Structures are given as C-alpha cells and as structure tokens.
Amino acid sequence: CSRWEEEKKEDGVKWMQLEHRGPYFVPLYEPLPEDVQFYYDGKPLKLSLATEEIATFYAKMLDHEYTTKEIFQNNFFHDWRKEMTSEEQEIIKDLDKCDFREIHKYFVDKNEARKALSKEEKQKLKEEADKIQEEYGYCILDGHREKIGNFKTEPPGLFRGRGEHPKMGMLKKRIMPEDVTINCSRDSKIPEPPEGHKWKEVRFDNTVTWLASWTENIQNTLKYIMLNPSSKLKGEKDWQKYEVARRLKDVVHTIRAQYRKDWKSKEIKKRQRAVALYFIDKLALRAGNEKEEGETADTVGCCSLRVEHIQLHPQLDGQEHVVEFDFLGKDSIRYYNKVSVEKPVFKNLQQFMKNKDPTDDLFDQLTTTFLNKHLQHLMDGLTAKVFRTYNASITLQEQLKALTNPEDNVAGKLLSYNRANRAVAILCNHQRSIPKTFARSMQVLQEKIDAKKKQVEEAQEEVKKAEEEFKDTKDAKAEANVEKKKQQLKRLEEQLARLNVQATDKEENKQIALGTSKLNYLDPRISVAWCKKFGIPIERIYNKTQREKFAWAIDMAGEDFEF
C-alpha cells in the first residue's frame, strides 16, 4: 500500500514515535565594528550591547515605509528605552535626534558584498546551510524520516504586522531555550538544549503534531515548529480537507434551499444567519471571527461586518438590488465589490441597517460560533471555511472545462489554466501590489516581441524568395530550400505566439496573487487530472516544493478525476 494509506491510528492519536533535535537557535548578536557609529544630537554615542542590537533593527529598516509611520516610531522608541541602561535613558530622550544612517549604510554594504561573492564562496555558504538543514531539519516520525517545516526560531527584530497594525514597531524578543516546550516520544533520544541552557519543559503528547512551541511576546500567541507540508501527516490532513469540501458538493443544494427559506424566518437571528451564509457561499467571504480591539489592525469578515461597510442601491449601473461592499479583510487587504443580490436579501439588509450607527454591527445577533454550530448540524465537519475551499475548487474545475481548447499548443493551454486560476483568485480576493519590477520586465518582454516580429517578417521574405527561385529552376534543391525556409518561418511564428501569450498572461496577472489559492484552496487533483488529460508536464503547473506538498494527489488522481 502507498504511504498515504498506512494503518489508521485510534482517534486523536497522531503518532507513536517522534524523535528530533529541537529547534535551531539563530546566532547571537555580533557587535558593530568600531568605526560604525550611532550619533545622538550630532555626536557619536557608544551604546551598550543590548541597546546597540535594537538600534540595528531600526537602522536596517530606514529605507522602509514603516519607519516613516508615527505609530511604528512610537512603539519602537518606547520598547527601545525599556532595554537601555539608566545612563542611556538619561541621554536618549528623542527619536528625532537619533542618527542611524551610518549603521544603515554598513548593513546595505554588507548585503551588497554578499551578493558579489564568487560562485565558490556562495557554494560554501550553501553547504553550511545544508549541514544545518541535515542536522536540525528532519525528524523521525513512526519510522519515517520526515522533513520539518520551520526548524529555526524567528530572529529578534521589530514587529511589522500587516496593514495599520497597532503594535507595529514593537520589539520582538529573542527566543531562548528557556522559552521552549519540546514535544517528542518518551522512549526517543530527547533533544539536548544548547550548552548552559535548559528547556522550559519536555512533554510527550501524541495527540498533537507539533515538535516544539513557545509564546511570542507581541501578540502573546503560541508559535509552533511543525512538519513540512510534504510530510505524510500534513499530506493526509490536506487530503481530508478537500474530501470534506467534496462532501459539501452533495448537500450544497439542500443547504442553499434552507438558507433561502430562512430569509423569510420570523426570527431575526435566523434571518441574519441566512443572509451571512448567502454571502459566504456566493462571494466566498471569510467568516470573520470576533477580535479584541487594539490587539490587531481593524479588519473584518462576514459576521463582523459593520453598517459602514456596505451601501445599498435599489438600482445601479443597470442592475437591481445592488450591495456595494467596501471593507478591509484579512491582512488588511481591501475588499471592494458591487453585487446584485436577490430581493429578499436586499430587503433583509435594509432592515438590519435600520436605526443603526455606521459603526454598529450589521449582523448584531450573529457570531461565528452560532453560524458554525448550525453548519456542523447540516453536515459533519462543515464550517464557513469549507465553503471557500468548495467554491474555489469547483470554480477552477468549471473554468478549466470551459476555457481549455484541446487544439491549443502547450503555451495556449497554460494560459487557459492561469485564467481559470485567476477566476478563483478574484473570487477569493487574493490581490498583490503591482511588482516594483513590473514595468521594466514588461518592457524587456515587449522588446523581445518586437525583435521576434522583425525576424518573422524577414523569414516571410526569405520564403517568398525561395518560392520564386523554385518557380524559375524547378529543381529538387530549390524545392528542399522552400521547405527549409517554411519550417524556419513556422518555428519563428510559434516563438512569437508564445511571447505574445506570455505578455497577455503577465498583464492580466499583475495585481492578482495566484499562489494563495493554488496552495490552500484548490484541490490539487483537479490540476493533476487536467495535466494528465491534456499531456501537460506537471512541472509547468507546480514547482518542486509544490510537487512535494501535493505528492499524495499526483499519486492518486487519474485524468478523469472529478472534484
């Protein structure tokens, strides 16, 4: 049997044996050279080691937008002062008088020097990194040697956060062995902490899959060292996720009929739940869990929408009952959409908004817990998130069917694949900012296209010339020459077509992030089946890391797999 289908363990037990080396701790701080100085109020000031280290965190970020934000500056300065000696606290009282430019330049130069290393020196560095990976990057789980995902602790630095995060600029402290809980099996060789240190605790809990954990000091959340996505354990979990989404396919019609009926319910709580579920299903919105204020950036999902986040238009752009959404979702990505909804939904929303302030909750009777309890009751394992997975995967499958032309060459088929993937990314609102290098690389591509066009025109001339020569001489050599020139022209035309496809793809893709949906929302078996059916090499769709993560799907799916 394949390694995806080995013996099942009893419920809740994730492994019988787990042995590893513990986390790899990032190297300690190396002080700055004597001639690189920090200046306060125009005068050089020698800092204590701890204070200097934190100063370098800020200095490294000088050319970053973050350091121009007041909240970042204030949080940084507050945390930095806490770590200073009392003498330093007496002197350093104003961030505006601090000059980090020399330190910044030192790190920029150091970076440039690293880029300029010879091939041999780079190779040596790679070998050192590989050695650490070999030693710390693997564990033994139930007799299999499995790769670990993130085996290094995060280095200390300044917290960034996404969007307008209220904690940006705060000091992310160095993780010490004393902060770390180790998890392994009782009979394994228990990892040794670094010399002179001890672990916070060692536990033997086989109902969880993490190898080590610690609490990070900014959000006070637990961080874990987990297995790599390519491991059997993660692969199985991934596979199960898509199997749950496939089960939704069989009941989704019943669920849709149910929430439509609930739009007319006597209970406002049920009506709110039904409208929210309609949004989650139709628009693939995230559920929107309750969040503590001031802890994170002000972002919302479906259940936490406020009145100010939607506008109702009885008529707009020739459509009826239009809801205009405008809010910041996960990671502070703006969601903006105008959607024509069914009349009862529109009427309900008008009621939910009546006599409310802009900052009041739209669904004031609804929590994600209440919603997910209801979903679990409709289908075992169903949560709001499953709708996103289901709608993303089904969209990819339908789009691939609609867009793929079996007559196309590989480049043409890949363009269709990317267009299908884009439809999903748009549904899930996976955006990116236009890459800084976009204009330049587009220009390079356009120059290639222009050069290729010229070559095609020249080749057309050559064919004409060869044909005329053959007309005159009628000999075999001239005939062969016509064939040869036609072949050359055909090859150049194919190359030009390929470049044009590439340009179209690049332009359509500049503000859309395809990776998120590809890795997290799309059943890989759909893509594997599509590749097998149309003879597309799988590496044109998935890179090496992705092929490792989706090994279970590549193993399993034939060309007629249906989600």
Q: Is the pLDDT of residue 102 over 90?
A: yes
Quick one: 244 and 270 in the same domain?
yes
Q: Has residue 7 been placed in a domain? A: no
Sign of CA dihedral 373, 374, 377, 378: negative
CA 550 from centre of chain: 16
Phi-psi region of 248 (alpha: psi -120 to 50; beta: other; left: phi over 0): alpha
Q: Are 297 and 405 in contact (CB under 8 A)?
A: no
Is the pLDDT at 21 greater than 50, yes or no? yes
Same domain, 343 and 434: no
Task: Looking at the structure, tell me whether residues 54 and 106 fall in a common domain.
Answer: yes
**Which of these ranges, 140-154, 291-305, 529-543, has the smallest mean pLDDT?**
291-305
Q: What are phi and psi of 247, to 5 degrees?
A: -65, -30
Phi/psi of residue 203, each to 5°?
-130, 160
The angle formed by the CA atoms of residues 33, 34 and 35, to the nearest 5 degrees, is: 95
Q: Do 157 and 209 belong together in one domain?
A: yes
Closest Cα to residue 345, out of 366, 365, 364, 363? Answer: 363
Q: Report, as an integer, the average pLDDT of 39-43.
A: 94
Instruction: Tell me what pLDDT residue 1 has.
Output: 42
Predicted TM-score (pTM) above 0.85: no
Query: For position 352, which CATH number holds?
Result: 3.90.15.10
pLDDT tens-digit readout, 196-205: 999 999 999 9
Contact 280, 383 (CB under 8 A): no
Closest CA to 428 of 359, 500, 521: 521
The residue out of 384, 413, 442 marking a domain boundary is 384
Task: Flag whether 344 is in a domain.
Answer: yes
Q: Which of 66, 335, 417, 521 is catalytic?
A: 521
For residues 115 and 131, membership in a common domain is answered with no
379 lies in the same domain as 272: yes
* Residue 521 bears catalytic tag: yes
Average pLDDT over residues 8-28: 87
Where does 354-449 show beta strands of DSSP type E? none
Whether 273 is in a domain gets the answer yes
Quote the mean pLDDT of the chain.
91
Q: Between the CA atoms of 437, 440, 441 and 444, what dihedral angle is there, to the nearest 10 degrees?
A: -170
Q: Which of 517, 518, 522 is nearest to 242 (CA)?
A: 522
Quickly list DSSP for 119-162. HHHHHHHHHHHHHHHHHHSEEEETTEEEEBS--BPPPPEE---S
- Give residue 549's identity as a one-letter amino acid code: K
The pLDDT score that the predictor gives to residue 70 is 94
With bands split at pLDDT 50, 70 and 90, how would you rate the model's confidence at 393?
very high
C-alpha to C-alpha distance for 505 and 395, rounded to whole angstroms: 19
127: CB partners within 8 A, 6+ apart: none
Q: What strand order describes the sheet that includes 201-203?
A: 201-203, 181-183, 212-215, 222-225
* CATH code for the domain in which residue 464 is found: 1.10.132.10
Residues 66, 203, single domain; the answer is: no
- Quick: pLDDT tens for 235-246: 889 999 999 999
Could you tell me if residue 32 is inside a domain? no
Same domain assignment for residues 398 and 371? no
pLDDT at residue 333, as a whole number: 86
Residue 238, amino acid: D
pLDDT value of residue 411: 87
Query: Per residue in 494-513, pLDDT tens?
Result: 899 889 988 988 888 888 88
Buried b (16+ CB within 10 A) or exposed e, 43-58: eebebeeebbbbbbbb
What string of H, E and C letters represents the secondary structure of 272-314? HHHHHHHHHHHHCCCCCCCCCCCCCCCCCCCCCCEHHHEEEEE
Q: Which of 384, 404, 427 is the last residue of a domain?
A: 384
pLDDT over 70 (residue 220): yes
Domain-located, residue 2: no
Q: Does 194 fall in a domain?
A: yes
Q: Clarify whether residues 364 and 490 are in a common domain.
A: no
The last residue of one of the domains, among 74, 94, 119, is 119
* Same domain for 458 and 313: no
What mean pLDDT comes out for the span 218-225? 91
Residues 265 and 377 in one domain: yes
How much is the pLDDT for 172?
96
Per-residue pLDDT, averaged over 280-287, amounts to 92
Q: What are phi and psi of 241, to 5 degrees?
A: -55, -45
The predicted-structure confidence for 135-192, as pLDDT tens digits, reads as follows: 999 999 999 899 999 999 999 999 998 888 889 999 999 999 999 999 999 999 999 9
Residue range 431-459, pLDDT digits in tens: 888 888 899 999 999 999 999 999 999 99
Residues 543-553, mean pLDDT to the nearest whole number:
92
pLDDT exceeds cutoff 90 at 542: yes
Q: What was the pLDDT predicted at 7? A: 58
CATH, residue 222: 2.170.11.10
Q: Is residue 1 part of a domain?
A: no
How many domains are there within the chain?
Answer: 4
Question: Which pLDDT does position 293 carry in this prediction?
Answer: 72
CATH number reported for the structural domain that contains residue 98 in this entry: 1.10.10.41
Least confident range from 225-229, 332-336, 469-473: namely 469-473
**Cβ-based neighbours of 232, under 8 Å, separated by 6 or more:** 3, 4, 6, 141, 144, 146
Residue 5 pLDDT > 70: no
Give, rounded to a whole angstrom, the gap between the first and last alpha carbons of the chain. 23
Pair (180, 216) in one structural domain: yes
**What is the token pair recorded at 376?**
């679990």
Range of the domain at 316: 234-384
List the one residue out of 174, 129, 138, 169 whose CA is nearest residue 155.
174
In a domain, 429, yes or no: yes
